[in-house]
Every structure is written in structure tokens, then in C-alpha cells.
A and B are shown apart, each in its own frame.
Chain A
Amino acid sequence: MKDQRLESRVDTQTIKIQARGAQVYYGTNHAIKDVDVDILDKTVTAFIGPSGCGKSTFLRCLNRMNDTIASCRVEGKITLDDEDIYDPRVDPVQLRARIGMVFQKPNPFPKSIYDNVAYGPKIHGLTRNKAELDAIVESCLRKAALWNEVKDRLAAPGTGLSGGQQQRLCIARAIATSPEVLLMDEPCSALDPIATAQVEELIDELRSQFSVVIVTHSMQQAARVSQRTAFFHLGNLVEYGETGQIFTNPIDPRTESYISGRIG
């Protein structure tokens, strides 16, 4: 496993998303404390840490999904390509078209497989005709490694697929809007090991086009798919660096004890 790590090094150093002094409050609960992080383009970044440490909260700051929670307040500066995403001029809806998200529990729309994937391109007016839409649906389902399984039943409901297939459908749906960043919140926690392996393989392929941020409970998964890893603890970003370094040679003692299974 470690050998594999050394091979998949970070390919680029372009900063896609940058956070400086990010704070998140739920009412009076200070959930994210002063986080600075640089997320690189065309890289898989893993967020790890014990449950409740704020990984999801921070992830949801990056595409402003936290706006939907009334009690949630975000401070600090988070930029996408050097533009502040919390600037009043920013329309969160437009932002979310550029930063896709895959959720913990597969949540396909109760519509056909085709409509699930076609929905994003439709509402963003990405296609001019049915043929183009068909092409996008096919290519996204192919990228999500689902095409062969569903190509004969695109009109069947997406909710009728197995859990792993549903999650890949959700990934296909997320990449159909051609986002620049893909946020994934524990995308494999509801999947069996085989489906997990498929999704992990997929993530590795997606890296060539997107910057991927993945929250995971499993340190093995972080080690397998990511190039950079951030370790959160009680709302603090404790350590952030190359995945190989975090797992083999952590600097902070808290990282060390989490990785060796003493806190969690």
C-alpha cells in the first residue's frame, strides 16, 4: 500500500480552493476553528478525523451548502480560483454548478436514470438539443463506470438500482454539470466492499479532470485514493500534507494517535 502511495504523487501545485481563517458556528457551537487549507487542482484531497470533528461541516462550506442551515454562520475567507465565494456578489446557485457534491447516503431523484443525469445539464442550459444531452448522459455514466450496467434501462427509476449503483449514479449526476471540484462526503460509507472498490477506482480516474475532496471515515481509503490528507480534530485542522507523509510520518502527536487507532 505504501509503495503504491509513492507512485501517485501530486501532479500539480495549482491552488483551486483556498481557505484562510475559516470559522463555522452553529448558533453558539464553534464547529470549525480557524482553518487554513489549500486544495490543489487535479488532486484528491482526503479529510479524515474522528466523527463530529467538523469534516462534513467544512466540506459543506466549500460549496455553500451550509447556507441552507439557518443557524450556521461562516467567517473567514474561502476562495475558488482566487475569488471569494462568500462575497455578496456570488450567487450560491452558480457556485454549486461549478462545485459538485456527492452525499453520504446515495440520493438519486425518484426519476429515471436518464433524468437523474440529465437534470443538471438541463437546468444549466448546457445542451442545445436532445442528441447533445444523450451524449452527456452517456459519457457521464461511462465515467461513473455505470454505463454497461444501465444502458438498456435508462428509463428505469434510479431508485431501483443497488446501493453501489445508486452512488455511482449520483457521481454521474454530479459530474454531468462539468464541475471543477467534486466534493464527496463519505461516499462509500453505505456501500459494500466491492462497490467501494469501484467507487475508489472511479475517484482515481476523476482526478485527471477535477479536483476531488473526499471525507472518509476509513484511513485505508484515504491512503488508497488521496494524494493529500487533512486531519481534523475537534474543529481544528491539526495536520495537512502529502498523504504518504501523514500516514508514515505524522508530525502532530494527535495525528499519530488517531492513525494508530488511539483516538477515534
Chain B
Amino acid sequence: MTRASLFAQDKRTRARNATEKRFRAYGLTAIVLALLALLWLLISIFGNGLPAFKQTFLTFPVTLEESVLDKSGTRDPAVMAKATTITYGKVLTKALEAEATAKGIDLSALKKKGLANLISEESPATLRNMVLADPSLIGQTIRFTALAGGRVDGYYKGRVTLETAALDKNTSPEQLAVADKLKEAGVLTISLNSGFVTMPDASDKRPEAAGLGIAIIGSLYMMAVVLVLALPIGVAASVYLEEFAPKNRFTDLIEVNIANLAAVPSIVYGILGLAIFINMVGLPTSAPIVGGLVLTLMTLPRIIIPTRAALKAVPPSIRDAALGIGASRLQTVTHHVLPLAMPGILTGTIIGLAQALGETAPLLLIGMVAFVRDFPGAPPSGLFDPAAALPVQIYNWTTRGDPGFVERASGAIIVLLIFLIAMNAVAIYLRRKFERRW
């Protein structure tokens, strides 16, 4: 009988190896496809959104004349408030005209309003608030940095071209030519847009002035509410169910329902929040406290489930050891079981929080989509002031007409992603820090 050589594969082995190779190819294909999709998503978001972090500004000297802005001469903000943003708009336009003339720029080709349009409609209000806050500015000449209008900003970000400008009643090729000259003269600059993360939202016509300030604060307030409520309640509920509750029909029922609650669509929690917190309890709409409570309800099962899993994963021998020495149940849990379960609990909590941070639907129902211009106060009373939320702000901006908001929405997505990545990094860090072997 001849023995088969080890160097030649028999038929079965060949078939087995082929199957294995095919399986690996499938897996690799799936992963490559997923990575490509992710890459495409990131490229499109960053391509659209990064310009939001840059902004076109006009910096020029403005003389704040008493005869225009404070005719009474009292320097009383209440009286000075009579001068409206229209007056301030004229002051700004005049000042820009003077600056352009001084730099030798020919403005004769501009139509009526062509110069005023270079400046964002938001800037007169900014200047007015500045003066009302500090009336001693009257009579002085200050260097003022105004936002450039949305079209001009779009021109430097490639959104607006000379061809589209010819068809656009809000701008003109002549205006853009003046803008180019102002840029050469150093009056018009493009620089980092810190206002994107500090300013409040702006109206539909002023994408250049729209910022995420209130949305970020609103989201932070809500996350604080969720953390303060959901973590202790969730952990306490899990510890009770896992370590103290008798195992019977009733606790089984609770267990099944917690799993079900985690699967309930989030908009249902929004309806619940509307019915309970706003209609029954009478809390204000658009308030971070209500958003936080709704998100707490939604997050609780998502914290309880991983927490219970983490508690279950603690070896029973540790509990026996502690009980055997005469530790009480609670001592056993707090001294031994919880520290061992901590990495799992924290990871679960942070993932729950991250989900809550990105949640939009329930917040729409409790009115967080309202247009808010005033910053909420400091907590705790600030929790009851109207605010926005990051994901809702994104949704809101994507529904607006001006193309400038596409850029803003993508920029807001980048901010949201940064928050999520930061939270996940914290989760990984905590996990490493608390992880122990046994």
C-alpha cells in the first residue's frame, strides 16, 4: 500500500481550505464595504462642514456719534434704545464706505444697498447691544469687526460664484469685486469662527450668524440631568434586582419589561414626556429639564441592562467570600461587587448617555425645536429656561432654505461627533482604569 505524501493535499483538505478562503473573503469584503461607507460619510460631512469653522469678517473703524445714537445725550440705555438696528445699520454702512474710500476703492459700480449688503444683518444688532451695554462708547471711534453677509461668505467658501451672483438678487458680481478689493486692502479677512460654537441660532436669512452656543449648553444641561438621575437610579435598580430581589414571577416580569422598554422607539418617550412633564406637571416647554427627564426615562433601561450584566459577571465566589466573613448584603455589594462591576457599569452608562446626546425625536415633541435667542441661565434655574439641543439644531438647520445652512448643519454634525468621540474616549479610559483581574 502506498502512503499519501504529506506534501500533496487530499481532496477533502482542498475543499475545506477553499471554503475557509471563501469565508475570509466574504468577511473582508464586508469590512471593506463598511469602511468605505464610513469614509464616504466622513468625507461628505467634513467637506461640507469644515467651512463652518471659518468665517468672513470685515474690520473697520466706526465712529459712534452722539447726534445719531444718543440724541438726548443722557447716556441712559433705556432712552438710547430708541435708536434701532436700522440706525446702527446706517452707521455701519457709512463707516465701511468711508474706510473703502480711504483705501481708494471705487464703489461707483455698486447698486443701491450693494454696500449695506456686504455686512451681515446681524452686525447692526451686535453693535447696538455693545453700545447699550457700555454707553461710554458714544463719541468714540472703535474698530469694529462685523460679519460679512452670507453671500460674500459663501463666495469665499466656493458656494457662490460670479455666475450665480449675476442671477442672485441678494448679491451681484460688482459687489463681489468690491469684496475682493476689500480683501486685498485687509479690511475683509477670513478667520477662525469661534462664534459658531458660542453664538445663538440666527434667523433663516442669516446663516453667517448662526451658532451652536445655546444648543451646546442645552445638550450639556440635559446630559447633566440624565447623568445625575439615570446613573444612581439605574445602578440602584440593577443592584436591587440583581442582588436583593427574590427571583419570582413578578421580578421576571420586570426584567422582561425593562428589556422591552429599551426597545421602545424614542419618540414614544417624547409623547410620554409631553403628557406627563408638560401637560400634567406643568413644566415649561423647550426646557432642558424636560428634555433631560425624557432622556432619563429613555436611558434608564439602557443603563440597567448593561449594569445587570456587569453585576452578573462578578463571580459568585466573591459574594460567598464576603458573606462568609459576616459582611452584610449591602456591604458585600458596595465593597466588593460594585467595584468589580464598575468598568461595565461606566461603559454602559456612557454609551447610554451618548445615545441620549444624539436623540432628536423625543425632543421635537417637547418643543426643543423652538427658535431660541437668549442663553439659558446658570443651573439649576437655567434648566427651566428655553434652550435648544445639538441634534435638534442640526435637524432644524437642514430644513432651512438658505444654502449657507447646509454648511452650518454639517459643521454641527462635526461638533456632535466630537462630543460622541470624547465620551467614548472617556468610557475607554474609565474601563482601563477600573479594570481588574480576578
Contacts and interface: CB of A to CB of B under 8 A. Distances in A.
A110 B438 contact: yes
B255 to A, nearest CB: 15
Given A70-B246, A123-B331, A159-B437, A107 B325 contact: no
A100 B325 contact: yes
Contact of A177 (B318, B326, B328): B326
Interface in A89-129: 93-98, 100-103, 105, 107-110, 119-120, 123-124
Nearest to A122: B335
A123 B320 contact: no
Nearest to B245: A70
A93 B322 CA distance: 10
A107 B314 CA distance: 12
B62 to A, nearest CB: 68
B436 interface: yes
Interface in B308-348: 315, 317-328, 331, 335-336, 340
B17 to A, nearest CB: 42
A100 B328 CA distance: 14
A65 B321 contact: no
B338 to A, nearest CB: 13
A63 B328 contact: no
A17 interface: no
Contacts of B21: none
Which of A100, A101, A102, A177 has the largest count of B CB atoms less than 10 A from its CB?
A101
A173 interface: yes
A122 to B, nearest CB: 9
A97 B321 contact: no
Contacts of A63: 324
Contacts of B317: 103, 105, 107
A109 B436 contact: no
B321 A170 contact: yes
Interface in B331-383: 331, 335-336, 340
A239 B228 CA distance: 61
A65 B327 contact: no
Interface in A51-76: 63, 65, 68, 70
B247 interface: yes
B318 A109 contact: yes
Contact of A109 (B321, B331, B437): B321
Interface in A149-206: 159, 170, 173-174, 177
A173 B325 contact: yes
Contacts of A174: 324-325
Nearest to A107: B317
B327 A123 contact: yes
A38 to B, nearest CB: 23
Contacts of A68: 319-320, 323
A101 B438 CA distance: 20
Which of B323, B326, B436 has the largest count of A CB atoms less than 10 A from its CB?
B326
Contacts of A123: 325-327, 331, 335
Contacts of B321: 103, 107-109, 170, 173
Interface in B123-169: none
Contacts, number: 67
A96 B320 contact: no
Nearest to A64: B323
Contacts of B328: 93
B326 A94 contact: yes
Contacts of A105: 317
A174 B320 CA distance: 12
A96 B331 CA distance: 14
Which of B315, B319, B324 has the largest count of A CB atoms less than 10 A from its CB?
B324
Contacts of B436: 110
Contact of A96 (B319, B323, B336): B323
A105 B321 CA distance: 10
Interface in B382-438: 436-438
Contacts of B331: 123
A173 B321 CA distance: 9
Nearest to A115: B335
Which of A65, A68, A97, A110 has the largest count of B CB atoms less than 10 A from its CB?
A110
B320 A97 contact: no
Given A110-B438, A159-B437, A124 B326 contact: yes
Contact of B325 (A70, A94, A120, A159): A120
Contacts of B325: 96-97, 100, 119-120, 123, 173-174, 177
A96 B246 CA distance: 22
Nearest to A102: B324
A96 B324 contact: yes
A102 B317 CA distance: 11
A68 B315 CA distance: 15
A131 B327 CA distance: 23
Contact of B326 (A70, A102, A109, A120): A120
Contact of B438 (A102, A103, A120, A159): A159
A96 B247 contact: no
Given A107-B317, A109-B321, A123-B331, A93 B326 contact: yes
A65 B323 contact: yes
A177 B318 CA distance: 18
A162 to B, nearest CB: 15
B316 to A, nearest CB: 9
Interface in B219-248: 246-247
A103 B324 contact: yes
A159 B247 CA distance: 31
A3 to B, nearest CB: 36
Contacts of A96: 323-326
Given A107-B315, A159-B438, 10 more contacts: A70-B247, A95-B326, A97-B326, A107-B320, A109-B336, A110-B436, A119-B325, A119-B327, A123-B326, A124-B326
18 contacts: A70-B247, A93-B326, A93-B327, A93-B328, A97-B326, A98-B326, A100-B325, A103-B321, A105-B317, A107-B318, A107-B321, A108-B321, A109-B318, A119-B322, A124-B326, A159-B438, A173-B321, A177-B326
Please list the 10 inter-chain residue pairs (A to B) with the smallest Cβ-Cβ separation, ordered nearest first: A97-B326, A101-B324, A107-B317, A96-B326, A110-B438, A120-B325, A107-B321, A93-B328, A110-B436, A70-B247
